[in-house]
Amino acid sequence: MIEALLIKLVVASVVFGGVLNLAGLHTWVERKQSALIQDRIGANRAPIFGFKLLGLFHGIADAIKMFTKEDVIPRGVDRTLHTLAPFFSVFFALVAFAAIPFGPQLHLGERVIDLQVARIDAALLYIFAMLSLGVYGVILAGFASRNNYAIMGGMRATAQMISYEIALGIALIGVLMVYGTMDLSAAVEAQGRTIAGGWIPLWGVVAQPVGFVVFLVAALAETKRLPFDLPEGESEIIGYFVEYSGMKFGMFFLTDFLETILVACLATTLFFGGWQIPFLQADGFHFPWGTEIPVANWLYVLLGVTSFTVKVLAFCFVFMQIRWTLPRFRYDQLMDLGWKGLFPIAVVNVLVTAGVMILLGGQG
Amino acid sequence: MAVKVVQRPQLTFWEKLYIPQVLCGLRITFRHFFRNLFLHIAHRFGRRTGERAGVTYQYPEELRPLFSRLRTRHRLMVRENGAPRCVGCMLCETVCPAKCITIVPDEHPDPDVEKFPVRFDINLGVCVYCGYCVEVCPEDAIRMDTGILDIAATSRDAMKLDIHELMNPQLRKPVASCELDFPHQCEVHGGEVRGSWTQPAAVAHEPRMKPSKLRTSDLDSRSSA
């Protein structure tokens, strides 16, 4: 019993340690990647003992700054809610990671370990619930700040997130129909199948290309980053965290990165085979031209975790690239895209998927 | 009233789809990203150093190339015997629109030279870098080609250059010791007049002024003197 608890503790600390560090690293990636895109050099100072490491220590310097800055609470705000809002934001973004499977089952002697903090039957619903609850952090921040700009920003954020959550959810119904499960581990295992004589792995993006595009756009909107950064719009329209400073602001900042990583994890898990590697089964590689390479369980797990990490990082990279490519939408364009663009496409996608599945006789 | 009908650009079907346009935008950013990434890595290994990976300069370490006509901090030209080339004609002080030059001339022992500056001060806090003093000088005695741009000080007094710093641009305040041997009003020694024309050191002297701070390799012909 105590062993099982310890193992879960280790898995949980690996997931949250990895995710939080990745979020911290995002600040560096954001600076450097935007610098490369815009023909600049980017942050390259902040040396520690003379080592600059391409400016990698700027994140640490930022964290120290955030923690030591004065935490301004404006007069007349609801102190409880004002303090609670950033914690809500970060908390719900973090706990959603519990349901993400980041590797296949590890066999340690007699024991079988799920590389997933919590194997939940309705993992997808759980993640959606957490994403939706994340709205509370945003709207509480807006309402508790006693600032009209903050309320407007909070309203914009809420409207945007709720609108796009609908498109997001319906885009994923197609995937659910194909895999026939809400358990993300089972969904990843289902993506180990192949089609076309074993040449093409049946990843979600192959089965649901339209669903993937809709999911990607809606998910970008969920992260509240450019081109969907209307909730913040720090340079002119001013968002929900105007009245926050110090680490409370830092937590909102962190939430954005956490949500980006979460969305990257979701896209990987549902559409890019999670920890699957093409042609790699639990006992080894089975190439369609007949070659077979046996693989031990520990190596299989290692390859799986590596594959998952690489895919997530690639998605983070692409999201960052999109963030530095596109300008912000206008609010009416945002709503048009969500309700008149993505929503109908997602619904039609579900219908078409259902029709195809009936034609294929219930086989995904 | 004239009405001007503004034609709003109509989006084509493919543009309305967003996705192809987004991909076009991504192509541009990816091109920049990978080109610069490749160049940065190549520079680490000392390759392709001719192509810059960023348009920015890492300022204190890396200085921008200066155009040869750029007007930077002043210097006074020096004769071979270590005395200033200036003949104290007061033209620069007269033409200066900011009135930042102060000259006190005195009689020169050589009758061909007539005068020389006992005192030559420029208040850089007032100077507008118009370059009129350089234009007007009949003796080519003052130039603005030191390449010194980082003129900053914590007090107004520190912005006032006297003859020591003008004749040797490498000197920075506070000037430690006076190396000038012709008669001049020496700020190093509390403003009293020091030096004389009869000292032996005043005869043959290495030209003290070396414009080593110059960053342009191709200064125009005037400054090669």
DSSP letters, A66-89, are: HHHS-----TTS-HHHHHHHHHHH
Helix (H, G, I), strand (E, B) or coil at B217: coil
Angle at Cα B179 formed by Cα B173 and Cα B185, nearest 5°?
Answer: 75
Please report the pLDDT score of residue B152 as a whole number. 86
Q: Do A321 and B22 touch (CB under 8 A)?
A: no
Residue with tokens 């594959």: A307
Question: pTM for the full model?
Answer: 0.81
**Cβ-defined contact of A325 to B36 (cutoff 8 Å):** no
Tell if the CB–CB gap between A325 and B40 is shorter than 8 Å.
Answer: no
A35–B25 CB contact, under 8 Å = no
Look at A40 and B29 and tell me if their CB atoms are within 8 Å.
Answer: no
Instruction: Specify the higher pLDDT residue, A364 or A5.
Output: A5
Query: What tens digit of pLDDT does each residue of A215-229 get?
Result: 999 988 888 887 888
Q: For residue B84, give every residue at least 6 positions away whose Cβ sits within 8 Å of its Cβ, in sequence order, or none.
A: B76, B77, B78, B116, B117, B120, B141, B163, B167, B182
Mean pLDDT of A312-319: 94
pLDDT digits (tens, 9 = 90+) for B149-195: 888 888 998 899 989 889 988 887 778 788 888 888 887 777 778 88
Whether B105 shows a pLDDT value over 80: the answer reads: yes
pLDDT tens digits, one per residue of A182-192:
899 888 888 88
B63 vs chain A: nearest CA distance in angstroms? 15
B63–A contact, CB cutoff 8 A: no
| Percent residues over pLDDT 90 in chain A | 36
State how far the Cα of A43 lies from the Cα of A52, in Å rounded to an integer: 10
B18 chain-A contacts, CB cut-off 8 A: 337, 341
Ranked by mean pLDDT, which of A97-106, A244-253, A307-316, B154-163 comes out on top? Answer: A307-316
> What separation in angstroms does the CA of A85 have from each of A80, A94, A244, A328?
9, 14, 10, 25
Q: What percent of chain A has pLDDT over 70?
A: 99
Half-sphere exposure of A218 (CA within 13 A, CB side): 31
Phi, psi angle pair for B43, to nearest 5°:
-65, -35
Convert the pLDDT of each residue in A252-261 to its tens digit.
Answer: 989 999 999 9
A322 touches B: beta carbon within 8 Å = yes
Q: Does A324 touch chain B (CB under 8 A)?
A: yes
Whether residue A227 is preceded by a cis peptide bond, meaning omega within 30 degrees of 0, is yes
pLDDT digits (tens, 9 = 90+) for A29-59: 999 999 999 999 888 888 888 888 888 898 8
- Structure-token match 């007269």, residue found: B94
- Residues of A with Cβ-Cβ distance to B54 under 8 angstroms: 35, 39-41
Are the C-beta atoms of residues A131 and A165 closer than 8 Å to each other? Answer: yes
Which of A31, A32, A38, A333 has the highest number of chain B CBs within 10 A, making it the mutation to test binding with B?
A38
* Residue A241 confidence (pLDDT) above 90: no
CB contact under 8 A, B25 and A36: no
The minimal CB distance from A39 to the residues B22, B25, B36 is found for B36
| Mean pLDDT confidence for A236-251 | 87
The whole-angstrom distance between B39's CA and the closest CA on chain A is 10
